[in-house]
Amino acid sequence: MDPNTPTEPALTPPPASGDLKPATLEIGVSKAPATEIHSDVQPVKRKIGDYSVIRELGRGGMGVVYLARQESLNRQVALKVIPAGPEASEAELKRFRTEAETAAALSHPNIVSIYEAGQANGVAYVAMEYVSGGTLHDQTYKNPLPPTEAALLVESLARAVQCAHEKGIIHRDIKPSNILLAPRAGPCVDRSGLPWLPKIADFGLAKRLDNPALTASNLVLGTPNYMSPEQAQGHNQRVGVSTDIYALGAVLYEALTGYPPFSGETSFEIIQHVVRTPPVRPSHLRTGIPQSLEAICLKALEKDPQKRFQSAKELADALAKTFQEKLPATVITPAPSDHASGCLPPLPPPQFKLPLLEGGYLPWQVGC
Ligand SMILES: Nc1ncnc2c1ncn2[C@@H]1O[C@H](COP(=O)(O)OP(=O)(O)OP(=O)(O)O)[C@@H](O)[C@H]1O
Ligand SMILES: [Mg+2]
């Protein structure tokens, strides 16, 4: 049978109960507990170049993320530290740095800013904007958003992704744990009404599935729950714009239902579902999801990249249409404090009337 042929929806409602945790794809020889995977970066104590480490924020497949203070600029940053041991060749470190530098050129309110990439004290690091409100996964896992908020959230993420795509940057690892939440400085009243501004992390830093230097190790290479079929099958030459569109669909799915589109006991099982099984319809897991929104979610999650939205903008525009008429009139006036805090671009002069664009959104929600 063609492995791409969808089979019966095999998942019974993912997991209305129990403790489903997105499984983690581990490639390589041994399965090490998370605490041991990065034991080689543990010795990092206080200083890495210009940065003083304050505390650990979290760990992922590439390394450890610390809250740190950049001494020369006296500001807090998130410092992602990657072991520069035998795991990472010179070529790999160079590529890592080049990619970080490319991503540093991205400037968008919904993308975590990268400040600098470098090497010091035997580690490679990336200094980036510190986002203090946790991850979208922490918010939405088992705790879905109202459909309109989910649509608005993914619309703004899709416009940010469009901006990156226009600059030739593909993320390759968009997932709810790579979306960080910046608490609003004040009563920010944008169209979403959400108390935080979502920001996509790790643009340009996503792990390279085609890299033998990494796949030969036991580094964790990704969570297959949100991975596109082409990535899950290792078809790296097919990974592109539509891979990020699939992942945005997976983020929307979790925001709407509280669960990733595919789950399973093992990475292998999840990948089988990702490649062969149609996702359970969101409306089967939760009532009140508009049909049009469900159709958008399922189109983004099509197995065949050709059948997905052809650009992130197309996805964003489709989402905007689903709630266009439901928005209360008041939501088009953001609070001045949000502009002052950098949550939104500076306010125009008072005599300037904000132009509403087609679809009812404000200029800063459009993308680049
Ligand atoms: N810029 C940041 N500001 C605040 N916290 C961050 C930042 N970047 C990462 N973190 C925290 O560190 C944790 C680990 O991040 P990291 O990117 O290493 O792993 P991940 O996103 O969970 O997985 P992956 O390695 O697959 O991306 C995140 O879950 C988040 O809690
Ligand atoms: Mg990450």
* Domains of the chain in sequence order: 30-129 (3.30.200.20), 136-326 (1.10.510.10)
Average pLDDT, the chain: 76
pLDDT at 271 over 90: yes
Ligand 1 neighbour 222 (Cβ under 6 A): yes
* Secondary structure (3-state) at 269: helix
- Of the pLDDT bands very low, low, confident and very high (cuts 50, 70, 90), residue 70 is very high
Highest-pLDDT range among 101-110, 120-129, 277-286, 330-339: 277-286
Nearest-CA residue for ligand 1 atom 30 is 58
How far is the centre of ligand 1, averaged over its atoms, from the C-alpha of 185 (Å)?
Answer: 22
Calculate mean pLDDT across residues 23-48. Answer: 42
Q: What is the pLDDT of residue 211?
A: 40
φ, ψ of residue 298 to 5 degrees: the values are -70, -30
Lowest-confidence pick of 108-122, 196-210, 258-272, 307-321: 196-210
Active site residues: 173
Position in ligand 1 atom list of the atom nearest CA 60: 19
- Of the pLDDT bands very low, low, confident and very high (cuts 50, 70, 90), residue 243 is very high
- Of the pLDDT bands very low, low, confident and very high (cuts 50, 70, 90), residue 120 is confident
pLDDT at 17 over 60: no
Out of 129, 132, 177, give the residue to mutate to test ligand 1, the one with the largest number of ligand atoms within 8 Å of its CB. Answer: 177
Q: Where are the alpha helices (DSSP H) in 105-173?
A: 136-140, 147-166
Give the environment of ion ligand 2: residues with CB less than 5 A. 60, 178, 202
Q: What is the pLDDT of residue 84?
A: 62
Rounded to two decimals, what is the model's pTM? 0.77
Amino acid of residue 238: R
φ, ψ of residue 187 to 5 degrees: the values are -75, 70
% of the chain beyond a pLDDT of 90: 48
Ligand 1 neighbour 135 (Cβ under 6 A): yes
Q: Are 180 and 201 in contact (CB under 8 A)?
A: yes
